[in-house]
């Protein structure tokens, strides 16, 4: 009988453990601490597509057998965008060969992007003599679907090429040619056969399909039906990634949620938001934009807060690397969205690598390196009291 009781107690203990096991597991991080995850309101089918894209983006590793390279920068999408956040200097891209809007004159010498790594037995690219170049730290992925849906009309409404309002800010869109596989919307605005582009540090990429196809091709050395030319021998090859996979990744990027602001009730952070506007940051880092129509209801006609105007601005000689894309001048950069800024250390290895090439290792440094049209705002920042600077920093870290 004693044995029976012992066995009974063991079985009951086991059942309790099985029932309680999830209590012994780590809790999920709060939504506002994470950059990844889908926008709210996707239906089951959309969730399935999101997961397929998530898997392709974060888990699919390209090996030699799967077509990586032979020259490349990274072996997967996730290598450059840990947790869908900003990248690290380890996967910083180098682009070369274009100095003005006449285009890239080094395409036959491996431009526009340097593939600085190679599979065993091959040699990576080097920058050709005479080519200027710039480095690009991978940006965060979150909220890209919202940015894609801002109408051209809204972007043009924020532009002020001749600084008519006299505020010293004269944003312009990047007008660029687009690949034949892109189907621009009927409302897309054109100028001399060029379209308003918005993605990338220079704002030279039209939409997320172009961005994805380019990244597969130029970053990983993977061809698709959209970018069929091999980066090594410049010959057309069979697609190395399926069109379905590319489309899934595009859908994933489109439906990644927007970063959620933290500490919104913190008085210092609220004060910092006021300072942000007062010293002129908001002139370019527009707090609120809105989307147009999308077949994905969660993205359609929404207001969101990216802190960008998607326009190019003169950032001064300090940030002029002598390289450009599309119609941007070498000293012009697209306003970087600030959403997710406070979570950057969670994807950049615990620190900050800010501005286009990660040269700023703190938010303060990044502000101090602003020039050109942002000179006045930078001066205003420099003259702030320590308390206001601290409040501004808290606000920026809450984004």
Q: Give whichever of 55 and 177 is closer to other proteins, judged by the CB atom.
A: 55
Alpha helices in 162-263 (DSSP H): 208-214, 243-255
Region from 15-23, 227-235, 269-277, 374-382 binding other proteins, contact rule CB under 8 A: 15-23
Kindly state the number of chain residues that form the binding site for other proteins, as judged by CB under 8 A.
Answer: 42
Our CA angle for 287, 330, 379, nearest 5°, is 50
Residue 55 CA: distances (Å) to CA of 116, 258, 289, 330: 26, 19, 30, 36
Q: Give whichever of 137 and 330 is closer to other proteins, judged by the CB atom.
A: 137
Binding other proteins (rule: CB under 8 A), the pick from 22, 102, 265, 385 is 22
Task: Establish if 123 lies at the interface with other proteins (CB under 8 A).
Answer: yes
**Cβ neighbours of residue 350 closer than 8 Å, sequence gap 6 or more:** none
Dist. CA 346–CA 278, nearest whole Å: 29
Q: b/e for 259-272, b at 16 or more Cβ within 10 A?
A: bbbebeeeebbebb
Per-residue binding string, other proteins, 347-386, x by CB under 8 A, is: xxxx------------------------------------
Q: Give whichever of 78 and 371 is closer to other proteins, judged by the CB atom.
A: 78
Dist. CA 38–CA 44, nearest whole Å: 12
Task: Establish if 257 lies at the interface with other proteins (CB under 8 A).
Answer: no
372 phi and psi angles, rounded to 5 deg: 55, -125
Per-residue binding string, other proteins, 285-324, x by CB under 8 A, is: ----------------------------------------
Measured from the Cβ of residue 25, the count of other Cβ atoms closer than 10 Å reads: 7
Binding other proteins (rule: CB under 8 A), the pick from 49, 95, 117, 285 is 117
Nearest to 335 by CA among 320, 314, 317: 314
Per-residue binding string, other proteins, 68-97, x by CB under 8 A, is: ----x-xxx--x--xx----xxx-x-----
Least Å from the CB of residue 206 to other proteins: 29
Q: Give whichever of 152 and 219 is closer to other proteins, judged by the CB atom.
A: 219
On whether the CB atoms of residues 46 and 296 are closer than 8 A, the answer is yes
Least Å from the CB of residue 324 to other proteins: 23
Task: Establish if 129 lies at the interface with other proteins (CB under 8 A).
Answer: no
Burial label for 311, CB within 10 Å (0-12, 13-18, 19+), is buried
Task: Establish if 55 lies at the interface with other proteins (CB under 8 A).
Answer: no
Least Å from the CB of residue 64 to other proteins: 5
Binding other proteins (rule: CB under 8 A), the pick from 26, 166, 295, 386 is 26
Task: Establish if 24 lies at the interface with other proteins (CB under 8 A).
Answer: yes
Q: Give whichever of 119 and 159 is closer to other proteins, judged by the CB atom.
A: 119
Q: b/e for 1-22, b at 16 or more Cβ within 10 A?
A: eeeeeeeeeeeeeeeeeeeeee
On whether the CB atoms of residues 331 and 314 are closer than 8 A, the answer is yes
Q: Give whichever of 327 and 347 is closer to other proteins, judged by the CB atom.
A: 347
Task: Establish if 119 lies at the interface with other proteins (CB under 8 A).
Answer: yes
SS3 55: helix
Least Å from the CB of residue 399 to other proteins: 18
Q: b/e for 166-181, b at 16 or more Cβ within 10 A?
A: eeebbbbbbbbbbeee
**Binding stretches for other proteins (CB under 8 A):** 3, 6-7, 14, 17-18, 21-22, 24-29, 61, 63-65, 72, 74-76, 79, 82-83, 88-90, 92, 117-124, 346-350
């Amino acid at each position: 009988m004693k044995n029976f009781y012992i066995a009974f107690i063991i079985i009951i203990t086991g059942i309790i453990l099985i029932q309680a096991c999830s209590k012994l597991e780590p809790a999920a991080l709060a939504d506002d601490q994470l950059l990844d995850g889908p926008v709210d309101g996707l239906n089951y089918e959309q969730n399935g597509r999101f997961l397929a894209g998530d898997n392709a983006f974060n888990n699919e590793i390209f090996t030699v057998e799967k077509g990586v390279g032979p020259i490349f920068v990274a072996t997967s999408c996730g290598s450059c965008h840990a947790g869908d956040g900003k990248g690290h200097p380890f996967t910083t891209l180098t682009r070369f060969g274009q100095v003005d809007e006449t285009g890239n004159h080094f395409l036959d010498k491996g431009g526009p992007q340097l593939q600085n790594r190679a599979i065993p037995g091959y040699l990576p690219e080097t920058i050709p003599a005479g080519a200027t170049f710039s480095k690009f730290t991978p940006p965060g992925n979150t909220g890209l679907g919202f940015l894609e849906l801002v109408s051209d009309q809204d972007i043009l409404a924020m532009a002020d090429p001749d600084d008519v309002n006299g505020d010293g800010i004269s944003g312009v869109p990047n007008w660029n040619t687009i690949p034949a596989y892109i189907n621009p919307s009927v409302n897309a605005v054109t100028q001399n056969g060029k379209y308003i582009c918005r993605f990338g540090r220079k704002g030279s990429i039209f939409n997320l399909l172009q961005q994805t196809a380019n990244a597969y091709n130029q970053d990983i050395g993977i061809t698709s039906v959209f970018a069929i030319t091999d980066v090594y021998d410049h010959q057309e090859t069979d697609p190395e990634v399926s069109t379905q996979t590319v489309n899934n990744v595009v859908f994933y990027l489109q439906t990644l949620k927007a970063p959620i602001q933290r500490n919104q009730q913190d008085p210092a952070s609220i004060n910092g938001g006021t300072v942000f506007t007062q010293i002129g940051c908001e002139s370019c880092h527009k707090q609120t934009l809105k989307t147009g129509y999308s077949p994905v209801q969660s993205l359609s006609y929404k207001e969101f807060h990216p802190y960008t105007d998607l326009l190019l601005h003169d950032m001064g000689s300090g940030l002029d690397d002598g390289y450009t894309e599309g119609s941007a001048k070498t000293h012009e950069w697209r306003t970087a969205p600030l959403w997710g800024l406070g979570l950057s250390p969670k994807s950049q290895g615990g620190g900050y690598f800010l501005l286009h090439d990660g040269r700023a290792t703190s938010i303060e440094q990044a502000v101090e390196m602003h020039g050109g049209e942002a000179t006045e705002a930078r001066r205003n920042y420099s003259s702030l009291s320590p308390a206001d600077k601290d409040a501004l920093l808290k606000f920026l870290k809450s984004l």
